Structure 1
Amino acid sequence: MSLFQLAWQNFVQHARRYSALIFSLSFTVFVYFNFENIRYSSALGGLDAVNLERIATLLNVVKVVLVCFMISFIWYASNVFLKNQKKEIGIYVFLGLTNTRIGMLYAIENLLVGLVSIVAGIVLGTLFSYLFTMVFVRMSALGVAPQFSISVQAIAQTALLFSLIYGLVTLKGMWEIRRSTVLHLISAARQNEKVARRSGFLLAKALLGCATLGIGYAFAIKDGGMDVLANAMIATVCVIVGTYWLFGGFLPFLFQCLQKNKRFLYGGRRVLWINNLVFRMKQNYRSYAMVCILLICAVTALGCGFTLNNRIQAMREYSMQYDYQLISASPNQQEHFDALFQDVVDRSTLQIGQSEEQLFIPYSNLADFDIPKPEPDQCVKLAKKMMLSLYTDPSRFSTTLDGKPLECVGEVRRAVAGFMQDKMEVPIYVIDDALFNATFPEEQRLSLYNYKLADSHPDYAQTLQDDPWVEGVYIADKNAQSDEWLSTIFTFCVFLFLVFLIAACSILFIKQYNDSFEDIAPYAILQKLGVDRNVLKRSIAKECSLQFGLDFVIMSLSSFFSLLALSKIAGDPMEVVFFVSNAIILVFIVLCDLLCIRFVQQNVLS
């Protein structure tokens, strides 16, 4: 029998074991291919060149994230399967095969898995490419008709990239097999991975992990200016390291204590799943930490999507809040301008004072908006159109008026003065009415007249240009499409959320399902000894559920602070995003847990 025939036979026999890995890899290929297809095909042919170019730039950013994720995920999944294959591979030594030929056998079998994953992912991506594009267009509200288009370049690049990543991982596995001894190959799949550390050391490591997480949370919500990015980087590193230390210290410490507590251990027949978790603790806590970090990334990605989507809608309000905005040096022309317009839906007038290249508006002019009311020595800044703000401390916008210091007590990141608020090159502040009246006499003020008209209003451009009372005019362009590409950011973030979520659940599923093959013989012995089958089922369910539930609890805490940090940067509340994202993750985790329990029980107790 040739090496290829033997590898094919192994692949067919282990098809059930490989199914979870192939599904996960195929899903990754599916998503990456569809993003590539949108980039290189004519699926979005209805958009103008500027929007297409900017969407292509965003796609490149998303592709970089996906590539980094694919490398780490494939590396982890392949290592898990290699560990469990080593015992079987080691048997081939007794059949006369050298380590080199065994490595070749492993490579062929591994490449078959990769080939099936590539073909399945691209075929499914091709079949569902139109649906993917339609969902992408609908979620992004691009206003174009999606077209069915398949790019050969997208197929080639997806296959080439995945083959390269998977090929490198396979070469690493071959090298590891060639350097392994027969004893290592035989025993690798069932090595005792108990974390052999004293309780004091583990407790100290757990406390250090908690302290590091606390530092990360503190930096995440810390107010700042240009150092916000540095704070975010420190917070990210601290959360990753703290999560790893927490799982690496707290879990071994907890289960060692439970093992020593015989009353707990033997009560409710917990001895089976507790000892199983302790036996594999070294590999388990690393998997828990990786899954927890992936889930935090998923929630953060979704939070970024909602945050940026809210900011995009707020940015559009600047230009669409009013149809016409008129600047006049005369404060008493309200009736004159009212007579020019028909079908007026909304109108307002703002008094504006200018001092030292700054504009000031009295609070009473904007009292209908949800704006903090400033005291005589305070001000509120009206922000311009922006995606995110690096300045999360309002006091940094404090200013002076006629030499008198004004403390900034808030920043309004939405349109309250329309397009003029965004296009005025000087900062705009809302101040107390008494301070405004005392500082700016009536003859030194400008008046901003704002009009929102019905959709079918006439064109007043020429009339306003010829009006002697008009110093400047802004007319909203409702047909402007230059920023349509911004809407795709939310869609990209949602897709990344799903990719990270499915990857996290897949890692836990693959790990537990793959480990179950080691438990077939021990559970068979327990059944022969008379242990009730329902007891074994409950033991498996508790072991699986604990692993999924533990990650969800730690993830929820960390994601709360990550969304709180986003809320401070974007100026939008994130409570809804927190509950929605955690609810979605909980549903996924419960479904995956139930599926994992069913598959493991069938595999172990069949």
Structure 2
Amino acid sequence: MSLFHLAWQNFMMHVRRYGALILSLAFTIFIFFNFENLEYSGSLGGLSADNLEKIKMLIDVVKVVLVCFMVSMIAYASHVFLKSQKKEFGVYVFLGLTSGRISILYMIENLMVGIVSILAGILCGTLFSYLFSMIFVKISSLGIAADFSISWRAVVETCLLFFLIYGLITLWGMRSIQKSSVKDLLSASRQNEKVNDSSRFLILKAIIGCAILFTGYYFAIKDGGMDVLGNAMIATVCVILGTYLIFGGFLPFLLQTMQNNKRFLLSHRRLLWVNNLVFRMKQNYRSYAMVSILLICAVTALGCGFTLNHRIEAIQQYSMQYDVQILSLDPNAEAYFNERLPEQEMRTIVPVAEKNEQLFVPYSSVSSFDISEPKENECILLSKRILLSLYTDPTHNSTELEGRKLTCIEDVRTAVLGFMQDKMEVPVYVINDSLFDQVFPQNERLYLYNYKFEGDEPNIEISTEDPMVVGIFQMDENNDSYVWLNTIFTFCVFLFIVFLIAACSILFIKQYNDSFEEIEAYRLLQKIGVDRKVLKHSIIMECSFQFGLDFLIMCISSYFSLMALSKVAGDPLGSVFVISNLIILLFMILCDLICIKAVKNTLLSKRIA
């Protein structure tokens, strides 16, 4: 029998085990290919050159994230499957195959998995490319019609990149096989992975993990001012390290305590599933930590999407709040402007004063907006259009007026003064009315007349040549320079889906693959008369424990990650936390049920007399 024929037999025999890996890889290739196709096929040809260039830049960023995920996913899955295959490879040694030929056999089998994954991903990507483009354009509100077009460059680059990653990881697996002895090959798949550390060491490890994790939470919600970016990096590192230590310390301690408590262990049919978890804990806790971190990334990605989408709407509001804004020196020019402007839905007048290259407006003129009233020694900054601020402490915007220090109590990032707030090159502050009247006499003030018209395209008969006009700001309905920002939300949603599927795939792959190593044990248990209901209960508890534990840890950490985002963005994200966690919970329950059914079919497929 040739190596190719043997590899084909192995592949067909293990195709059920490879299912989750092929599905997750094919989905990632599907997403990656469609982003490549969006970039190179001309599907977004209706956009302006500037917007198209910026969208392509965002696509490149997303592709880098997908590549990093693909590397980690393939490396993890290859390690899991290689470990389960080593016993089989050890048998081949006794049949006369050298380690070199076994590694080639492994390479051929891996190549088959890669070919099926890439073909499934590219084929589905091609079939659904037009639908993908339509969904992308619709969610992103690009205002164009997506074209159906397939780029051969996208096909070639996707295939080359995937096989480069897959080939390098396969070579690493071949090297591992060649370095393994026969004993290592035969015992690898059933090696006892129980964590043998003492209880004191595990408790210490858990305490250190909790301390590091809570340090990360502290830096995540800390008002950092200029240091907010550094705080975010510290929080990220601490959460990853703390999560790893908690899973590596507290979880083994908890399960070993459960195992040593015979009364607890023997009641409610806990013996089998607790012992199984303890037996494979060394590898399992790493998988749990990886899944938990991926789920936190998924929630954070979705939170970023909602945050940035809200900020984009706020940015667009600067140019949509008023149709025309007129600066004038005359406080009584309202009647003059009303005669020369179309019928209005809304009009307001805001006094404005300048001092030391700063603009000031009284609180009473903007009190209809949701901002606090400043005291005489306080002020509020009206920010320009920004996606995210690197400041979380408004006091850094404090200023002076006539030798009096004004403490900034709020940084308002929504449109209050429309165009003027965004277009002025100097900061604009809201101050107390009495302070404004005290510092700025009538002859030092400008007056901002704001108008919103009933018609779609008003005919404006006023220009800067008018003696009553100092400056004029007018809405440009054809301005599409910020259309590209709408795609950020779409990218974040796709990343949320990819991370979620990746996390559940890792749990499924690990549990389903381990179940094949338990077939003989479960057959023996059935032979000695253990009730199938007990075995089914054990399978349900073992699978659900792993999914439930990761969901619990993810909920806690994702709450603090969204709090950090909320501070940076200045927007509450409580609804995002609830929505994202509900989606993840429903998806994990579905995956848990599928995993339970798959493991049951593997372990209890035949009745043993």
CA distance in 2, matches of 1:375, 1:538: 65
How far did 1:251 drift?
A: 0.4
Please tell me whether residue 226 in structure 1 is matched to residue 217 in structure 2. Answer: no
1:242-290 Cα deviation digits (max 9, x unpaired): 0000000000000111011111000011000000000000000000000
Give the match for residue 87 of structure 1. Answer: 87
1:125-177 Cα deviation digits (max 9, x unpaired): 00010111111000000000011110000000000000000000100000000
Classify the secondary structure of the residue corresponding to 1:57.
Answer: helix
How far did 1:339 drift?
A: 2.0
TM-score by length of 2: 0.98
5 Å matches for 1:38-117? 38-117=38-117
Please tell me whether residue 293 in structure 1 is matched to residue 275 in structure 2. Answer: no
Give the match for residue 521 of structure 2. Answer: 522
Give the match for residue 325 of structure 2. Answer: 325
1:294-352 Cα deviation digits (max 9, x unpaired): 00000111011111111111001111110000000111111211222223111111001
How far did 1:31 drift?
A: 0.7
Give the match for residue 491 of structure 2. Answer: 492
CA distance in 1, matches of 2:458, 2:445: 30
Please tell me whether residue 468 in structure 1 is matched to residue 467 in structure 2. Answer: yes
CA distance in 1, matches of 2:326, 2:360: 17
Classify the secondary structure of the residue corresponding to 1:147.
Answer: coil
5 Å matches for 1:159-238? 159-238=159-238
Classify the secondary structure of the residue corresponding to 1:227.
Answer: helix
Gaps of 5+ in 2: none
5 Å matches for 1:567-582? 567-582=566-581
Give the match for residue 598 of structure 1. Answer: 597
User: How many percent of aligned residue pairs carry the same amino acid?
Assistant: 64
Classify the secondary structure of the residue corresponding to 2:408.
Answer: strand
CA distance in 2, matches of 1:278, 1:353: 71
Is 1:343–1:457's contact at 8 Å kept on the other side of the alignment? Answer: no
5 Å matches for 1:293-372? 293-372=293-372
CA distance in 2, matches of 1:572, 1:295: 22
CA distance in 2, matches of 1:302, 1:379: 34
Classify the secondary structure of the residue corresponding to 2:462.
Answer: helix
CA distance in 2, matches of 1:463, 1:220: 51
1:532-590 Cα deviation digits (max 9, x unpaired): 11111111001000100000111011111111111111111111111111111111101
CA distance in 2, matches of 1:296, 1:58: 22
Classify the secondary structure of the residue corresponding to 2:466.
Answer: coil
CA distance in 2, matches of 1:226, 1:76: 38
| 1:475 maps to amino acid | Q
Give the match for residue 443 of structure 2. Answer: 443
Please tell me whether residue 393 in structure 1 is matched to residue 393 in structure 2. Answer: yes
Classify the secondary structure of the residue corresponding to 1:193.
Answer: coil
CA distance in 1, matches of 2:415, 2:46: 30
Please tell me whether residue 564 in structure 1 is matched to residue 563 in structure 2. Answer: yes
| 1:506 maps to amino acid | S
| 2:442 maps to amino acid | E
CA 1:78–1:439: 2 relative to 1, 3 Å: same
Classify the secondary structure of the residue corresponding to 1:409.
Answer: strand
How far did 1:455 drift?
A: 3.5
Is 1:208–1:245's contact at 8 Å kept on the other side of the alignment? Answer: yes
Deviates more, 1:171-180 or 1:448-457: 448-457
CA distance in 2, matches of 1:73, 1:17: 16
How far did 1:383 drift?
A: 0.7
1:390-445 Cα deviation digits (max 9, x unpaired): 11101111111100011111111100000100111111111111111011011110
Give the match for residue 511 of structure 1. Answer: 510
CA distance in 1, matches of 2:525, 2:357: 83
| 1:593 maps to amino acid | D
Classify the secondary structure of the residue corresponding to 2:223.
Answer: coil
Is 2:208–2:245's contact at 8 Å kept on the other side of the alignment? Answer: yes
1:38-76 Cα deviation digits (max 9, x unpaired): 010011111111111111111111111111111111100
Classify the secondary structure of the residue corresponding to 2:517.
Answer: helix
5 Å matches for 1:372-383? 372-383=372-383
Classify the secondary structure of the residue corresponding to 2:387.
Answer: coil
CA distance in 2, matches of 1:220, 1:71: 28
Classify the secondary structure of the residue corresponding to 2:160.
Answer: helix
Classify the secondary structure of the residue corresponding to 1:350.
Answer: strand
| 2:540 maps to amino acid | A
| 1:184 maps to amino acid | D
Is 1:324–1:474's contact at 8 Å kept on the other side of the alignment? Answer: yes
CA distance in 2, matches of 1:359, 1:227: 27
Give the match for residue 249 of structure 2. Answer: 249
Classify the secondary structure of the residue corresponding to 2:326.
Answer: strand
Give the match for residue 535 of structure 2. Answer: 536
Is 2:342–2:459's contact at 8 Å kept on the other side of the alignment? Answer: no
How far did 1:89 drift?
A: 1.0
CA distance in 2, matches of 1:458, 1:423: 22
Is 1:104–1:174's contact at 8 Å kept on the other side of the alignment? Answer: yes
Give the match for residue 147 of structure 2. Answer: 147
Classify the secondary structure of the residue corresponding to 1:387.
Answer: coil
CA distance in 2, matches of 1:29, 1:338: 60
TM-score by length of 1: 0.99
How far did 1:466 drift?
A: 4.2
CA distance in 2, matches of 1:407, 1:481: 37
| 1:280 maps to amino acid | R
How far did 1:459 drift?
A: 1.7
CA distance in 1, matches of 2:20, 2:319: 50
How far did 1:457 drift?
A: 4.2
How far did 1:467 drift?
A: 2.5
| 1:58 maps to amino acid | L
Is 2:269–2:537's contact at 8 Å kept on the other side of the alignment? Answer: no
How far did 1:229 drift?
A: 1.1
Please tell me whether residue 239 in structure 1 is matched to residue 239 in structure 2. Answer: yes
CA distance in 2, matches of 1:591, 1:142: 34
CA distance in 1, matches of 2:18, 2:70: 17
| 1:354 maps to amino acid | E
Is 2:504–2:591's contact at 8 Å kept on the other side of the alignment? Answer: yes
Is 1:342–1:457's contact at 8 Å kept on the other side of the alignment? Answer: no
CA distance in 2, matches of 1:505, 1:132: 23
Deviates more, 1:539-548 or 1:338-347: 338-347
CA distance in 1, matches of 2:106, 2:124: 27
Give the match for residue 272 of structure 2. Answer: 272
Q: How many residues are matched?
A: 605
Is 1:325–1:473's contact at 8 Å kept on the other side of the alignment? Answer: yes
| 1:596 maps to amino acid | C
Is 2:341–2:459's contact at 8 Å kept on the other side of the alignment? Answer: no
How far did 1:226 drift?
A: 2.5
Give the match for residue 414 of structure 1. Answer: 414
CA distance in 1, matches of 2:444, 2:110: 79
Give the match for residue 501 of structure 1. Answer: 500
How far did 1:103 drift?
A: 0.4
Is 1:342–1:453's contact at 8 Å kept on the other side of the alignment? Answer: yes
Question: Superposition RMSD on alpha carbons, in Å?
Answer: 0.8
CA distance in 2, matches of 1:534, 1:347: 74
Classify the secondary structure of the residue corresponding to 1:149.
Answer: coil
